[in-house]
Chain A
Amino acid sequence: MSRADVCVVACAEAFRGDGEILAAGIGGAITVLAARLARLTFEPELLTHDGVCLLTGDVPALGEAPEVVEGWLPFREHLWLVLNGRRHVMLGASQIDRYGNTNISCVGDWARPKAQLLGVRGAPGNTRCDPTSYWIPRHSRRAFVAEVDLVSGLGTDRGAYELRRVVTDLAVLDFGAPGGTMRLVSVHPGVSVADVVAATGFELDLPREVPLTREPSAEELRVLDRLDPARLRDREVAA
């Protein structure tokens, strides 16, 4: 069992209870595996897609084409679905603050950025209309900041629809602290609470006892090995 295995399961847990909606991973191995693992285990009604524009009837391994197609989701339908809300997306973020406001647009002053990143993409609409979770593969003070340079994704103080959880290479967090601020939910095996606090650039709500993030079951590990035999997931996690 690797740290990445724990991270995939922690991300998959974000989709628990979602039922018959699209579980959308933003890309890369971990979020895509999380949606597919959840569908193959505890959340079988989930819809998942191939990363292009097909809703898959089966659940293929990473990089494989589906054998069964159950629907069509070109970009225009995806953008419709965002507004409709039957979708839970796991996004990335270059910066995140204690309310869960996130930035993927640029670093520095927007008018003339130090570093132009992607642009806001669909983050404003996603966070306003759909349940949203985040996967941040490197938990650091560079990412967990007191104030984001530009709000792409809405935090709990700006009208987010629902921020479900944040999973990093170190921990699971949510926004259950007073005022909708970030709270430590669990630390991954081998990580201390002090590690998480040291890597976070704002005050984090700490419960008196912080549990360990649950480890994958034997069945989950079997499913992951089938979905990702090349272990691409390990490349996404530094630890």
Chain B
Amino acid sequence: MIKLMTAERVAESVESGMTVGIGGWGSRRKPMALVRALIRAPATGLTIVSYGGPDVGMLCAAGKVRRVVAPFVTLDSIPLEPNFRRARQAGEIEFTEYDEGMFMFGLLAAAHRLPFLPTRAGLGSDVMRVNPGLRTVRSPYADGEELVAVPALTMDVALVHLNRADARGNAQYLGPDPYFDDLYAKAAARCYVSCERVVDTADLLKEGPVQSLLISRSMVAGVVEAPGGAGFTSCEPDYGRDEAAQRRYVEESREQG
């Protein structure tokens, strides 16, 4: 099935109150074309699940967000995300703050349709205090160790940006790091992939090895061709982060503050 669609169509399919996962990491390979379309669309009261970067900040600034689920929000080369900071300091959003490894286990649990996965990460820290709903489990084996039961980070919609995809949704990363985009695709009821370029299925392996085929079409509801669609975040090897544009984003945010 051909699944090509526009960013606007993707954004219009998101309903108020939904949980939306966003791939990438910090200010790296964020599906910014889809995020910008979501900002123009009517949905509000969203829960955003993200290793957060400007995606989280922009959606907060646009008043789209009820809750952020994240271990951090950063622009990498600029450590603090100005719009996320403002939203938190103004008390405008709720925050589920997890350790990075806990967050990955939440994605893995959702991808495997498990209710939770146990981990040591988070034990003893104030992550347990500020997330009073978190529970621990005791190992049923001889060790009897108590572990954090990280609940599955299931999502209504996932948005990811990759380097290449075919029109059916097979998607490929060509940079050095897959981030967690495959897990977002598997954790969501519907995953939308934007990409730098749509290519024929037969051409996918011309640019990268079979291991670069990160996401299968069986996990994908729609494909958006969006050249430059991660900008100003990085999308190696097609382009690096546009540091000047990122600085402008931070300066504009200050002026509005």
Chain A interface (Cβ within 8 Å of chain B)?
Answer: 52-54, 72, 74-76, 79, 82-83, 105-106, 110-125, 127-129, 150-154, 158-160
Specify which of B72, B122, B124, B180 is in contact with A121 (CB 8 Å cutoff). Answer: B72
The docked-state distance in angstroms from the alpha carbon of A124 to that of B120 is: 9
Q: Does B116 sit at the interface, judged by CB under 8 A? A: no
0/1 interface trace, chain B 156-186, chain A, CB 8 Å (1 if under): 0000000000000000000011111000000
Chain B contacts of A158 at CB under 8 A? Answer: 124-125
Given the known interface contacts A75-B25, A129-B120, the answer about A124 and B178 at a Cβ–Cβ threshold of 8 Å is: no
Please, could you name 18 A-B residue pairs with CB atoms under 8 Å apart, sorted by A? Answer: A75-B25, A76-B179, A76-B180, A83-B101, A83-B119, A105-B126, A116-B89, A117-B80, A118-B80, A120-B98, A122-B71, A122-B101, A123-B125, A125-B119, A128-B122, A150-B130, A154-B124, A159-B123
Chain B contacts of A160 at CB under 8 A? Answer: 124
Specify which of A52, A79, A151 is in contact with B126 (CB 8 Å cutoff). Answer: A151
Are B99 and A151 in contact, CB atoms less than 8 angstroms apart? Answer: no
CB distance from A56 to the nearest CB of B (A): 13
Chain A contacts of B180 at CB under 8 A? Answer: 75-76
Chain B contacts of A114 at CB under 8 A? Answer: 89
The docked-state distance in angstroms from the alpha carbon of A117 to that of B95 is: 13
The docked-state distance in angstroms from the alpha carbon of A118 to that of B52 is: 10
Chain A contacts of B88 at CB under 8 A? Answer: 106, 112-113, 116
The docked-state distance in angstroms from the alpha carbon of A54 to that of B176 is: 8
B: contact size bracket: 35 or more
CB distance from B144 to the nearest CB of A (A): 16
The docked-state distance in angstroms from the alpha carbon of A76 to that of B179 is: 7
Q: Which residue of A lies closest to B123 (CB)?
A: A128
The docked-state distance in angstroms from the alpha carbon of A212 to that of B236 is: 46
Are A79 and B70 in contact, CB atoms less than 8 angstroms apart? Answer: no
The docked-state distance in angstroms from the alpha carbon of A160 to that of B125 is: 10
Are B89 and A112 in contact, CB atoms less than 8 angstroms apart? Answer: yes
Q: Does B79 sit at the interface, judged by CB under 8 A? A: yes
Q: Which residue of A lies closest to B125 (CB)?
A: A124
Chain A contacts of B122 at CB under 8 A? Answer: 124-125, 128
Are A159 and B124 in contact, CB atoms less than 8 angstroms apart? Answer: yes
Q: Does B91 sit at the interface, judged by CB under 8 A? A: yes
Q: Which of B102-138 contact A (CB under 8 A)?
A: 102, 104, 119-127, 129-130
CB distance from B256 to the nearest CB of A (A): 17
Q: Does B74 sit at the interface, judged by CB under 8 A? A: yes
Q: Does B85 sit at the interface, judged by CB under 8 A? A: yes
Are A153 and B71 in contact, CB atoms less than 8 angstroms apart? Answer: no
Chain A contacts of B179 at CB under 8 A? Answer: 74-76
The docked-state distance in angstroms from the alpha carbon of A78 to that of B179 is: 11
Are B178 and A123 in contact, CB atoms less than 8 angstroms apart? Answer: no
Chain B contacts of A111 at CB under 8 A? Answer: 91
The docked-state distance in angstroms from the alpha carbon of A108 to that of B122 is: 21
Are B85 and A116 in contact, CB atoms less than 8 angstroms apart? Answer: yes
Q: Does B243 sit at the interface, judged by CB under 8 A? A: no
Chain B contacts of A83 at CB under 8 A? Answer: 101, 119-121
Are A150 and B126 in contact, CB atoms less than 8 angstroms apart? Answer: yes
CB distance from A232 to the nearest CB of B (A): 15
The docked-state distance in angstroms from the alpha carbon of A153 to that of B100 is: 12
Are A125 and B101 in contact, CB atoms less than 8 angstroms apart? Answer: yes
CB distance from B77 to the nearest CB of A (A): 10
Chain B contacts of A112 at CB under 8 A? Answer: 88-89, 91
The docked-state distance in angstroms from the alpha carbon of A105 to that of B84 is: 13
| Beyond known contacts A74-B176, A75-B180, A127-B125: 14 more, CB 8 A cutoff | A52-B176, A76-B180, A79-B104, A116-B89, A117-B80, A119-B97, A120-B126, A122-B100, A124-B127, A125-B99, A125-B119, A128-B123, A129-B120, A154-B125
